Amino acid sequence: MTQRYKVANHLMDITLDGDDLTNANILPSFTPFVSEDEGTLLLRLCAKRGQLTDFSTWEEIGQFDCGGANHGVYRKEAEITEGTNGTEALHYDYGFCISLPDCQGGALSCCLIAKKQFTECEAILLGDASTWQFGLNNAIMLAYAFAAADKQTLLVHASVIRNNGYGYLFTAPSGTGKSTHTHLWYKYIPGSDLMNDDNPVVRIVDGVTTVFGSPWSGKTPCYRNISAPVGAITRLEQAPENTIEPMATIPAFAALLPAVSSMKWDSYIYKGICSTIGEVIRLTPIYHLGCRPDEEAARVSYGMIARVKS
């Protein structure tokens, strides 16, 4: 069965090949994003049960810790394309071995094979039904992030709260307190609601930095098909005092880049992501917040970055 979804106005078709694979049991977080819209597809992905893919003849890029879950990454040369300025770009097919988090045993859950700049993908589900949801969710998230890399679209590791019509993103390494801080806004700042708690999508839409809810929200089940212009993006770190200040361009780029899903070893994808980050910084206020996990922290950040939608 093939189902179409729309995430941040990008369309994708996901095919589940197997009688025991249904959207309800394997992709429940995608339900708010079901779409019947026509238009250009960002990607197609087919998921089916199978055996571990042999990547022994592929180049191994590395083994990466992705939120406590190991992802092995492999590639092989696929094609060379010529750009409008006469330069050539080498494109690769990619393979990913996606494991469960260590706290869940670390077993392999899915192999993703991505072709044509992630627009044509296959997900091989490993293990049993208890592992498929995690593996397929991660496979689609990777495919989405990299297929959209040249379309002014970023998948950002952030918690985002909405207030007065604007979305406010808080980024930081896992465990620093992003979710804690947005919860403080929700608790103490009237009119606040959570848009996404782990992986919102940021797009430049008609010259406006816009944040969208997504099917990926970490440990918090917040899967909302909503959007808002971005009021600010704030890099958060724990501190003994609550202070906030705007960031200059270069520090802002250095702060935002690690929060964006990226592949530094792929020049085409990486160039697209860096270009979009630069445009986001040009259009959007970027702040640094040092804070405690208390009410004053929410009021200090709100007092500096809040905007009222006209």
pLDDT in tens, 233-284: 999 999 999 999 999 999 999 999 999 999 999 999 999 999 999 999 999 9
Kindly state whether residues 85 and 221 are assigned to the same domain: no
98, 133, 148 — which closes off a domain? 148
pTM check: above 0.75:
yes
Kindly state whether residues 184 and 139 are assigned to the same domain: no
Q: What is the pLDDT of residue 86?
A: 63
Kindly state whether residues 165 and 278 are assigned to the same domain: yes
148, 171, 190 — which closes off a domain? 148
- pLDDT, averaged across the chain: 93
Q: What is the pLDDT of residue 85?
A: 61
CA distance 162 to 310: 15
pLDDT in tens, 81-96: 766 566 677 789 999 9
pLDDT at 50 over 80: yes
Q: Which domain holds residue 130?
A: 2-148
Kindly state whether residues 80 and 194 are assigned to the same domain: no
Kindly state whether residues 248 and 300 are assigned to the same domain: yes
Taking alpha carbons only, the member of 119, 122, 148, 120 closest to residue 135 is 122
Q: What is the pLDDT of residue 310?
A: 47
CA distance between the termini of the chain:
44
Split into its structural domains, the chain has a count of: 2
95, 113, 148 — which closes off a domain? 148
Kindly state whether residues 63 and 162 are assigned to the same domain: no
Kindly state whether residues 137 and 210 are assigned to the same domain: no
Kindly state whether residues 219 and 140 are assigned to the same domain: no
Q: What is the pLDDT of residue 252?
A: 97
C-alpha distances in Å from residue 158, one per residue of 61, 83, 115: 26, 33, 28
pLDDT at 126 over 70: yes
